[in-house]
Amino acid sequence: MIQRQFFDAASSTYTYLLASGPGREALLIDPVREKVDDYLKAVEELSLRLVRAVDTHIHADHVTGLGALRDATGCVTLMGERSRAECVSERLREGEVIHLDGVRLRVLDTPGHTDDSLSLVLDPERPRAVFTGDVLLIRGTGRTDFQNGDPEASWDSIVGKLFRLPDETAVYPAHDYKGWTSSTIGEEKRYNPRLAGKTRAEYVALMRALNLPDPKLMDVAVSANLRCGQSAS
Amino acid sequence: MIQRQFFDAASSTYTYLLASGPGREALLIDPVREKVDDYLKAVEELSLRLVRAVDTHIHADHVTGLGALRDATGCVTLMGERSRAECVSERLREGEVIHLDGVRLRVLDTPGHTDDSLSLVLDPERPRAVFTGDVLLIRGTGRTDFQNGDPEASWDSIVGKLFRLPDETAVYPAHDYKGWTSSTIGEEKRYNPRLAGKTRAEYVALMRALNLPDPKLMDVAVSANLRCGQSAS
């Protein structure tokens, strides 16, 4: 199994490259446009063939690399079924399984941070890892105050779906701002300060009271990401 | 197996936490002083007992957390046998094996970036990973122009020792500046631009011609690190 995590320091974004081995099909999760050349270099050096690129949701803090990757490799671009991005080739639904040579990822519909957010479970029969986008972060959760975010949906996605995965499932989020690179479902159940020991109502009140400023890149990023990161023609 | 990678954005340093499982002995590699509270939080939340902390060499770009960790936990602090740091509890030699509950790390004496640099091989009988400090980086190598660095020793450490590990051994360096988090020995043999297709003489000439500025924190960091990161009394 090849699993590589890349970090974009400008937006604190994690991108993941998955494949079962050299010479085989590969998939990228949450690629950043400015780093596309790096991903392509890794794909080439690892003798992989990029066949899929997924965004877990429409990002508001960086421009996606989906369009550039599709242009460079012909890969299929994927997002959730409620995504407003017109440019993606296929839309993913709850329970659907993405198949590559030796890699299987089950889609969980996990709205809350945005209404189109999904999570991806690696090896669904015996979950090894879950890629959670911005819904569940390490000792945190994604804000719920724009792009049809909803704190009640966020709680239901995390507690009702992600927390039903085995405790030892590794958690790989789309961001971290203090240098942690992974977690587990068990740790987040016990130590996530927004969730552990809280009721749904307490979580909803906490998220509604955050009053965060908009992300610096929000206007640019969201409108670019509706076009898969490519220029308006 | 618990293996966590932490990133210090200020110095682009990777720190590694290793343990075989909850409730067991743990070790930290290359801790950064400003992040010690984070490591201690992770150790506590993962129900671990920190018993060892190692620096792969005297760092010139950040202040080590060894002293603060020893004060907080009573852990044994370790460095290479040629380290000039007076404060470490034990000095490691080529071939020595660090034993913890279920974790074994073999010491490779790998001078070149500094004269006291070492690397640590996880599961020496069947190497899974090697922590290379600043000697071997991802698609790069550590500079050799201060602290008794030596490009000839660097080549001999990398090509003569690290590259004899199996190709699939994961490479975890102490730094990366463009967001790559791991590599393998096979990739570095084939694609490291300073090494692949080069002779020893070409590498030595290349390293001697780099003319890099000193690290911003060099004077502060080296003198603090000779005291394990603690204030002069």
Q: How far is A5 from chain B (nearest CA, A)?
A: 6
pLDDT of A181 strictly over 80:
yes
Is B6 at the interface with chain A, CB within 8 A?
yes
B97-100 and B103-109 strand pairing:
antiparallel
In the β-sheet with A118-122, what is the strand arrangement from edge to edge? A97-100, A103-109, A118-122, A129-133, A170-173, A183-184
Cα–Cα distance, A232 to B197 (Å, whole number): 44
Tell me the per-residue pLDDT of B64-87, one tens digit each, with 9 for 90 and over. 999 999 999 999 999 999 999 888
Q: Is the pLDDT score of A57 beyond 80?
A: yes
Exposed/middle/buried for B201, CB within 10 Å: 0-12, 13-18, 19+? exposed
Chain B residues inside the 8 Å CB shell of A179: 6-9, 35, 38
- pLDDT over 70, % of chain A: 99
pLDDT the model gives residue A219: 84
**pLDDT score recorded for residue B217:** 82
Question: Chain A: residue nearest B1 by CA?
Answer: A168
Q: In A, residues 163-202, which contact B (CB 8 Å cutoff)?
A: 178-182, 187, 190-191
Contacts of A6 in chain B (CB under 8 A): 179-181
B47 Cβ under 8 Å from any chain A Cβ:
no
Is B233 a residue whose pLDDT tops 70?
A: no
Residue A122 has pLDDT above 60, yes or no: yes
Q: In percent, how much of chain B has pLDDT > 70?
A: 99
Task: Write the CA distances from B86 to A99, A120, B83, B89, integer angstroms.
Answer: 55, 49, 8, 9
* pLDDT at res. B232: 65
Q: Is residue A98 part of a domain?
A: yes
Q: Which CATH number characterizes residue A118's domain? A: 3.60.15.10
Q: How many domains does chain A have?
A: 1
In a domain, A48, yes or no: yes
Distance in Å, alpha carbon of A112 to nearest chain B alpha carbon: 27
Contact yes or no for B181 and A38 at CB 8 A: no
Nearest CA in chain A to B190: A45
Collect all residues of chain A within an 8 Å Cβ-Cβ radius of residue B45. Answer: 187, 190-191
In a domain, A175, yes or no: yes
Chain A contact for B3 (CB, 8 A cutoff): no
Rounded mean pLDDT, B190-218: 94
Per-residue pLDDT reduced to its tens digit, B130-163: 999 999 999 999 999 988 999 999 999 999 999 9
> How does residue A102 score in pLDDT terms, banded at 50, 70 and 90?
very high
Q: Flag whether A33 is in a domain.
A: yes
pLDDT of A6 reads 98
Nearest residue on chain B to A8, alpha-carbon basis: B179
What is the predicted pLDDT for the residue at A232?
65
Hey, are the CB atoms on A9 and B180 less than 8 Å from each other? no
- The answer as to whether A219 is a domain residue is no
Which residues of chain B make contact with A180, given a CB cutoff of 8 A? 4, 6, 38, 42
Residue A187 and residue B4: Cβ atoms within 8 Å? no
Mean pLDDT of A161-169: 98
Provide mean pLDDT across the span A106-130.
97
Inside any domain, residue B193: yes
Name which of A35, A45, A180 is nearest B179 (Cβ-Cβ): A35
Q: How many CB pairs under 8 A join A and B?
A: 45
- Which chain B residues are Cβ-neighbours of A191 within 8 angstroms? 45
Closest among B78, B39, B58, B56 to B217, alpha carbons compared: B58
Which H/E stretch holds residue A27?
strand A25-29
pLDDT of residue B168: 96
Going by their DSSP bridges, the two strands B13-19 and B140-141 should be labelled as unpaired
| A22-36 pLDDT tens trace | 889 999 999 999 999
Which pLDDT belongs to residue A215? 86
DSSP string for residues in B134-201 = TTEETTEE---SSTT--HHHHHHHHHHTGGGS-TT-EEEESB-SSSB--EEHHHHHHH-TTTTT--HH
Helix (H) / strand (E) element for A67: namely: helix A66-73
Q: Which amino acid is at A208?
A: R
Indicate whether this complex's ipTM tops 0.95.
Answer: no
User: Is the confidence at residue B46, as pLDDT, over 90?
Assistant: yes
Residue B220 sits at the chain A interface (C-beta within 8 Å): no
Dihedral of alpha carbons A39, A40, A41, A42, sign? positive
Residues of B in contact with A39 (CB under 8 A): none
pLDDT value at B198 more than 60: yes
Alpha-carbon gap, residue A215 to A201, rounded angstroms? 26
B20 CB near a chain A CB, below 8 Å? no
A26 CA to chain B: closest CA distance, Å?
17
**Of A38, A181, A191, Cβ closest to residue B5:** A181
pTM above 0.90, yes or no: yes
- Give the residue among A139, A202, A53, A46 at the shortest CA–CA distance from B186: A46
Mean pLDDT of chain A: 95
Interface test with A, best of B180, B182, B185, B189 (most A CBs within 10 A): B180
* Within a domain: B25: yes
Return the pLDDT at A233: 52
Q: Which domain, by its residues, includes B19? A: 2-211
CA dihedral sign of residues A41, A42, A46, A52:
negative
Q: Are B1 and B27 in contact (CB under 8 A)?
A: no
Is A126 touching B (CB cutoff 8 A)? Answer: no
Q: Rounded mean pLDDT of B210-224?
A: 88
Using one digit for the tens of pLDDT, what is the confidence trace for B8-23?
999 999 999 999 998 8
What separation in angstroms does the CA of B47 have from each of A118, A129, B18, B92? Answer: 31, 21, 13, 27
Assigned token pair, A149: 């975010």
Handedness of CA B171, B172, B175, B176 (dihedral sign): positive
> What is the structure's pLDDT at B215?
86
What's the gap in Å between the CA of A226 and the closest CA on chain B? 26
Residue B28 predicted with pLDDT over 90: yes
Checking if the pLDDT of B199 tops 80, the result is yes
